């Protein structure tokens, strides 16, 4: 049934005059719009041009490959709001503003198509009848959606005032501008309806029709004058909005979209997600400086990151260091980079670098203090939370690199760890020749040197080799593998630290030495499958080792091979249980909570296997902590913090242990030696005698039929 039938009018009469009361479609004022449009887009273009000039002062970086995948990323993160909608209130608020404005833009473009294309060149007008009614209704609906979004933003920013938001005048201006555009748009509609005698079909503009009633009290002359002024105020404010969508608070509309398009596509796959860019081995000889101390030493994309930041504070709310009163705020780090860029880089465009150095503070020590970037655990919660995919951790690692490699400065505790890694290939200082001494002779496990006929090479890691608590985990895992019928070998004294802590604390040179040592061993014995009980080793073998193998050379001057597969022990334990290779017996009526390791979960997407293992244990009930899966809270040991004492605020491991205790569980299940140490310490420090920490291998071994 046609919607127009109820109005007893020809379909062509169910429409309205465009550019009503401002001269009509052929009036001067209609063409005056193009002047404002030209000004708005010229200012927008100039703003983007100036920012691009600053970004280009950064180092080169390829971000233009795989255009199809980049378009998909824009659809996923911008148009489908994948990360934004993870939070309820702010997600709905932003979605209302975004989709409402997209709708209003589409409604406006319909007018442009008719009045500036089909009507102008072909005398074809289509905005009438059913189309006009639905189009009018859509315009009002989208306007109301934007209005709701604005009211939610006002409530959130000025009434609720969450601590992560730092409201600036530009934020208020943006809110007022959007509110003004929507309100003046509704007023235009209302006054037009009143001036044209309330046509019945305008009920399909319900907001305008309702507002037209009070406006009708005004006389015709007053209405005409007020409508005329309001029409132009609406147009000017709309074009002001367009001009400002690359500036200040509104800048995220364009720049954040660009940031998504040029994002690191490697972060879309768990095989490469959040890998740290390496210093090329040749650069140690060719470059005069490593790491970042000046803002222009970042890449152009890293500089774009700082402009794309909307200061929403999601990264800050996810940061374990910030939430435990450490000096670090990921949001502040990015904003400090932006401030330093705006302070320093314009001078570099027109003057000598040496002259600019005397006029601006350095990035490190001047804008960002060492205690800030040394507080980071590299947990990547900030990057997981960021709706525009800003990469915080690589920037922090770059600043650490400069401090360590160029200034030889690091937290005191790290100095001993570095010396131990250099001398004995482990951070604890035990002799490298004793690396395999933990293994009982009657276990039947040989070194790869003794027997290369194995299914998996077990990379034990430093904690499993030297820490007595984690040696129990290693033994439990080997017992499971033996029971399942797998042949396992270890490297023993030929195994070196994986280098994760060295890399993440900025000692890239030491990291590459350790990595080369391990790659030499893997290549020497033709190792094809590696399993580790440490997510840090698992992650780095999959990612940074693979990158390095393409540019690094072995002792004979040939490229390293990376044709081995890497497994975490939760993957293999899950497989042997599901394949029925081990049988779980007994029954325990208890609740167990599982702690997601950052480097197993966020970095590698392994969330289900550990949980399915726990749920397979007879009588066990899995109780989730309030922060779990990709919102899991770090134990505090990542990013080299395992070897750095906490001096500020609450200890991160205690914070996380309280999360576990709140579930009412009697056991915390981990799948990482660092998490094991930190959470075990947390239970002792808090005096929680009824809460035990076990690795998932130990749990399974306890239930396994002997």
Could you read off the pLDDT of 49-63 as tens digits, one per residue? 999 999 999 999 999
For position 1, what pLDDT does the model report?
52
The token pair at 647 is: 């001096």
**Domain 427-573: assigned CATH number:** 3.40.50.1860
- Cα–Cα distance, 535 to 555 (Å, whole number): 28
- What one-character-per-residue DSSP string does 100-136 give? HHHHHHHHHHHHHHIIIIIHHHH-----SHHHHHHHH
- What one-character-per-residue DSSP string does 637-694 give? -TTTGGGS---SSS-HHHHHHHHHHHTT-SEEEES-HHHHHHHHHHHHHTT-TT-EEE
pLDDT band at 26 (very low <50, low <70, confident <90, very high): confident
Which residue reads 């430093």 in tokens?
A: 462
Of 244-258, 469-483, 498-512, 572-586, the least confident: 244-258
Q: Given its phi and psi angles, is residue 274 left (phi above 0), alpha (psi -120 to 50 degrees) or beta?
A: left
CB atoms within 10 A of CB 49: 10
Over residues 125-148, mean pLDDT: 95
pLDDT band at 358 (very low <50, low <70, confident <90, very high): low
For position 357, what pLDDT does the model report?
63
Contacts of residue 594, Cβ cutoff 8 Å, sequence gap at least 6: 610, 611, 614, 622, 624, 625, 628, 668, 669, 670, 696
Which of 275, 274, 345 shows the shortest CA–CA distance to 307? 345
pLDDT band at 355 (very low <50, low <70, confident <90, very high): low
Name the pTM for this structure: 0.93
Over residues 343-368, mean pLDDT: 75
Domain 581-703 has CATH 3.40.50.10700: yes
Over residues 237-254, mean pLDDT: 90
For position 364, what pLDDT does the model report?
81
Rounded to 5°, the CA angle 632-465-529 comes to 75
Is residue 365 predicted with pLDDT exceeding 90? no
For position 356, what pLDDT does the model report?
61
For position 653, what pLDDT does the model report?
97
For position 335, what pLDDT does the model report?
96
Is residue 622 predicted with pLDDT exceeding 70? yes
Over residues 422-446, mean pLDDT: 94
Over residues 639-654, mean pLDDT: 95
pLDDT band at 359 (very low <50, low <70, confident <90, very high): low
The token pair at 535 is: 């997510």
- Cα–Cα distance, 129 to 204 (Å, whole number): 11
pLDDT tens digits, 209-228:
999 999 988 888 999 999 99
Over residues 668-697, mean pLDDT: 97
Which of 676, 681, 683, 674 shows the shortest CA–CA distance to 699? 676
pLDDT band at 285 (very low <50, low <70, confident <90, very high): confident
- Give the mean pLDDT of the chain: 93
Over residues 325-340, mean pLDDT: 96
For position 3, what pLDDT does the model report?
83
Phi–psi pair at 593, nearest 5 degrees: -110, 145
- CA 450 to mean position of chain CA atoms: 45
CATH number of 3-7+66-259, picked from 3.30.70, 1.20.950, 1.20.1070, 2.20.200: 1.20.950
For 623-656, b/e burial (b = at least 16 CB within 10 A) is bebebbebbbbbbbbbbbbbbbebeeeebbbbbb
Q: Does residue 190 contact residue 212 with C-beta atoms inside 8 Å?
A: yes
Domain definitions of the chain by residue range: 3-7+66-259, 272-406, 427-573, 581-703
Better-predicted residue by pLDDT, 562 or 261 = 261
For position 31, what pLDDT does the model report?
75
Which CA distances in Å does 539 have to 241, 263, 602, 605? 45, 21, 11, 11
Over residues 664-683, mean pLDDT: 97
Which of 378, 300, 384 shows the shortest CA–CA distance to 55? 300
Judge if 272-406 and 581-703 fold alike in CATH terms.
no
Which CA distances in Å does 335 have to 146, 244, 321, 363, 645? 28, 19, 17, 11, 27
pLDDT band at 705 (very low <50, low <70, confident <90, very high): confident
**Domain 272-406: assigned CATH number:** 1.10.1060
Is residue 557 predicted with pLDDT exceeding 90? no
């Amino acid at each position: 049934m046609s919607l127009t039938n109820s109005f007893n009018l020809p379909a062509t009469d169910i429409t309205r005059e465009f550019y009503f009361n401002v001269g009509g479609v052929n009036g001067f004022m209609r063409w005056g719009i193009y002047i404002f449009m030209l000004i708005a887009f010229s200012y927008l273009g100039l703003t983007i041009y100036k920012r691009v000039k600053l970004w280009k002062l950064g180092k080169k970086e390829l971000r233009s490959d795989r255009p199809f995948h980049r378009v998909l990323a824009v659809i996923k993160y911008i148009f489908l709001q994948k990360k934004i909608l993870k939070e309820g209130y702010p997600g709905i608020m932003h979605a209302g503003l975004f989709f409402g404005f997209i709708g209003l833009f589409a409604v406006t473009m319909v007018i442009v198509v008719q009045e500036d294309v089909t009507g102008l060149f072909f005398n074809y007008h289509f905005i009438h009848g059913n189309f006009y009614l639905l189009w009018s209704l859509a315009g009002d609906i989208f306007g109301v959606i934007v209005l709701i979004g604005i009211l939610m933003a006002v409530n959130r920013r000025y009434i609720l005032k969450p601590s992560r938001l730092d409201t600036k005048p530009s934020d208020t201006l943006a809110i007022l501008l959007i509110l003004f555009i929507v309100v003046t748009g509704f007023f235009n509609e209302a006054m037009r309806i009143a001036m044209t005698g309330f046509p019945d079909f305008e009920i399909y503009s319900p907001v305008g029709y309702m507002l037209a009633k009070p406006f009708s009290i005004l006389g015709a002359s007053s209405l005409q004058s007020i409508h005329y002024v309001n029409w132009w105020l609406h147009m000017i404010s709309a074009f002001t909005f367009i001009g400002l969508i690359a500036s200040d608070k509104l800048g995220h509309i364009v720049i954040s979209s660009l940031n998504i398009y040029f994002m690191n596509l490697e972060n879309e796959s768990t095989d490469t997600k959040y890998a740290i860019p390496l210093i090329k081995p040749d650069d140690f000889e060719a470059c005069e400086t490593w790491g970042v101390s000046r803002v222009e030493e970042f890449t152009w994309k890293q500089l774009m990151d700082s402009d794309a930041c909307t200061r929403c504070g999601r990264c800050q709310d996810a940061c374990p260091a910030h939430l435990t009163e450490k000096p670090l705020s990921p949001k502040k780090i990015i904003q400090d980079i932006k401030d330093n860029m705006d302070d320093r880089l314009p001078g570099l465009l027109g003057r000598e670098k040496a002259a600019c150095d005397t006029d601006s503070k350095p990035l490190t020590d001047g804008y960002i203090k060492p205690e800030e970037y040394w507080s980071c655990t590299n947990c990547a919660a900030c990057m997981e939370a960021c709706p525009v995919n800003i990469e915080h951790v690589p920037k922090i690692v770059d600043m650490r690199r400069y401090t360590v490699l160029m200034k030889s400065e690091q937290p005191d505790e790290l100095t001993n760890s570095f010396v131990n890694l250099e001398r004995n290939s482990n951070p604890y200082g035990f002799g490298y020749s004793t690396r395999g001494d933990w293994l009982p002779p009657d276990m039947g496990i040989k070194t790869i040197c003794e027997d290369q006929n194995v299914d998996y090479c077990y990379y034990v890691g430093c904690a499993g080799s030297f820490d007595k608590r984690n040696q129990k985990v290693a033994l439990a895992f080997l017992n499971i593998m033996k029971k399942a019928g797998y042949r396992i070998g270890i490297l023993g004294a030929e195994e070196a630290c994986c280098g994760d802590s060295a890399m993440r604390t900025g000692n890239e040179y030491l990291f590459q030495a350790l990595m080369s040592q391990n790659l030499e061993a893997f290549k020497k014995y033709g190792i094809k499958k590696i399993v580790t009980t440490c997510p840090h080793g698992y992650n780095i073998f999959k990612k940074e080792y693979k990158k390095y193998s393409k540019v690094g050379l072995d002792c004979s001057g040939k490229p390293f091979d990376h044709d081995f597969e890497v497994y975490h022990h939760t993957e293999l334990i899950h497989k042997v249980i599901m394949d029925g290779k081990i049988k779980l017996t007994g029954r325990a009526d208890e609740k167990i909570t599982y702690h997601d390791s950052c480097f197993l979960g966020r970095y590698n997407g392994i969330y289900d296997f550990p949980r399915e293992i726990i749920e397979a244990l007879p009588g066990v009930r899995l109780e989730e902590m309030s922060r779990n899966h990709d919102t899991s809270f770090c134990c505090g040991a990542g990013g080299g913090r395992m070897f750095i004492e906490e001096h500020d605020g609450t200890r991160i491991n205690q914070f996380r242990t309280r999360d576990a205790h709140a579930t009412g569980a009697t056991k915390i299940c981990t799948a990482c030696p660092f998490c094991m140490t930190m959470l075990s310490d947390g239970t002792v420090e808090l005096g929680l005698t009824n809460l035990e920490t076990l690795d998932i291998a130990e749990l399974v071994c306890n239930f396994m039929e002997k």
